Structure 1
Amino acid sequence: MQELMNGSAVSQFTLLGLSHSRPLQLLLFGLVLTCYAASLLGNLLIVVTVWVDPRLLQSPMYFFLANLSLIDMALGSVAAPKMLGDLLSEGSTISYGGCMAQLFFLHFLGGSEMFLLTLMAYDRYVAICHPLIYAETMRRHRCLGLLATCWAGGLLHSATQLVLVVRLPFCGPSKLDNFYCDVPQVVKLACTDAYVVEILMVSNSGLISLVCFLVLLGSYGVILVTLRGRFGDGGGGKALSTCSAHLMVVSLIFVPCVFVYLRPFSSSRMDKIASIFYTIITPVLNPIIYTLRNREVKEAMKRLRHGLWFPCWT
């Protein structure tokens, strides 16, 4: 067989998945399908709510929230559809090109989301700690520029990962100990010493996750200090509730990523659990956290529902 363009003789990979027990596979299918459908519907509802409500759309915080929901819908679609098909079928294989595509979009969307969450923390920092210059600092064209920077950062991060992976030779075995393609499992299959590549990738993914996480914690630490004297008024309580929701999302996303990527690559069941968390569970929790703890979003959803049910009365 002629080797592939990248020098690899492997044309497809076998995904070992989460379990070989048929009853457990069917149970997982139901759970993943429920999470995936809830993620799509919940995040789509947030996007539509923000888009049709002028007050929310003009607010940088909700503009960024709508973009976060778009990323979550796309991120959840990277692994879930393939996983659902594999849970129903007897075999679980993915082509070399499909594997590289999964890897690319996982890191592109995941990196963009991390940068966006950092941007959202900066937005809250300016709004709470420097309210007099907030309107000038977070003007719409500047928000668009910052958002484009987040997407560009995610693209650069993902392209770097992909270039490092496709340069590796793969000559077998071709079994990936996961339910989707990701850097740690793919690199371990290279038929060459990939220690330097592992270090580069840990420096890339791991340090990005850690640095963004530390910046976020620092920003919210300053915010909490600023809010100490405002707990008695409504504004302080409202800001604290918003920041609490952001911190919950940040913890759900960053902690598993730091655990997986900020250490030498290895195979363990905890890696799979962490992978499930940030590819399947987190996209469905984000809309729940933001809507249940945010009065403005809930009121906008009520207005949206009222407008859909009684269009002639509005």
Structure 2
Amino acid sequence: MRVAMLFGPAGPQRPVDWLKAAGTVADVVGIASVPALSLPPVPGLPYAGRDPELPHRYEVVTAAGQHLTARRIMALLRLEAAECGRLDVLHAHAPCADVTVPWLARAARIPYVLTTGGPPLLGRLARRRAARLHESAAAVLALPHPVDAEALPRVPARARIHQDPVRVAVTGGAEDWDELVHAFAEAHARDARLRLQVIGELPGPRGRDELLHDLAHADLFATARAWDLTALDALCCGTPVVGPDAPALVQAAAALPYHRPAALAAEARRRFGTAAVGARLATAYAEACAGAYADASASASGRA
């Protein structure tokens, strides 16, 4: 099974984790649309870059028109097919998937799989575009973002809530900062042990390590967002999450053992780890290929 995974300029976050999850069940080609190349250019394709250490990882410079960008991606798909054999499935991520993905799948004559699980779409036009993507997909899979368990720290032995002070970690963001501050002020008025700790992920591996360390040693993680990838990280570090009654968060956190940090971390890592997400992707890829084979057989029968 060979899969081409497409990443847009808007995400999803941490594409490497998606590549690792899909890589547990398939040979994966990663193509990221970027404003400017950071990789050496591909001979004959000046708008595309290729990782010299990971030759199946590409960048393609976005063009002024979406269909021109799609044609550039198509050129990379042809290059991969010529070098290593036919690709079986395209994989795009909603809500940041490009509207040209259906055209790209038809041009390459392979089905595409769409994974969803990010924040809800706002605006009629955005929802209409998402509907077209869903209608043309061979399979649509609601999945949380995979979390690379190997990158997570050990769960520290600590007594939660029964210690003083109680550290409440938040990630600062302009869109939800006011709501978080007011919520914490109300909680602090009821329990003076609470301390607010603002954390964030700086660029580079060190920044991620520091974020995970802060999450693992916090007593609670609070978010006001309907979907927050850091909330998944917190759960995998054994840290309970307090957030809005939003479907994405509720579904992700349902039935997790919050009262035991080690058990919470183990169950969250089992549920959101790259192997678990990869297993669900394998089913979607197989269904997409089976559907494409059935369609091709029906077309051949009709011509006969």
TM range, smaller chain: under 0.3
Structure with greater strand percent = 2
Report the TM-score, using the length of structure 1 for normalisation. 0.27
Instruction: Identify the structure with bigger relative contact order (alpha carbons < 8 Å, sequence gap 6+).
Output: 1
Report the TM-score, using the length of structure 2 for normalisation. 0.28
